[in-house]
Amino acid sequence: MPTLPWTRPNTPPPAVEVHVFASRFETRTRWGALLFLARTPRVWRQVSRAPGAYGASLRAEPFKRTFWTLSAWESRDALKAFAHAGAHAPTARGLAPQMRDAKFVTWTASSDDLPLSWTEAVHRLT
């Protein structure tokens, strides 16, 4: 699966601070990676309609059992609401036993810097 391109569910105002979230997941097994891939479309649909979502991308390296997310949000509350609702919440709970490692980072950026750089996200996660 190639990197899912930056999608922009909502257009942010110019020159405002956005909340950036990046994650890196490594599954225990290839089966876990397959499950992650199989459940991605439902969560991706949720992102594409999420209030407060200014953009998101997913990088998948299934043969390495590694998945990366990068997203920009209106606020931490918007991100939290997304994470606890819709397809994301049960998917995250269901995949938790499959995870070998997970890392999360947040920072702020300007809406003028969207779409965000994968280079920056990977640097912050490693």
In tens, the pLDDT along 70-99 reads 999 999 999 999 999 999 999 999 999 999
Angle at 113 between CA 74 and CA 41, to 5 degrees: 60
**Distance from the Cα of residue 36 to its chain's centroid:** 13
17 and 110 Cβ atoms separated by less than 8 Å:
yes
pLDDT tens-digit series, residues 16-57 = 999 999 999 999 999 999 999 999 999 999 999 999 999 999
Q: Domain limits at 111?
A: 4-125
Domain count along the chain: 1
The pTM (predicted TM-score) of the whole model is 0.94
Dihedral of alpha carbons 125, 104, 65, 39, sign: negative
For residue 71, the domain's CATH number is 3.30.70.100
In this predicted structure, the answer to whether residue 1 has a pLDDT above a threshold of 90 is no
Contact 110, 18 (CB under 8 A): yes
Q: From the CB of residue 100, how many other CB atoms can be counted at a distance below 10 Å?
A: 12
Residue 121 structure tokens: 């996200």
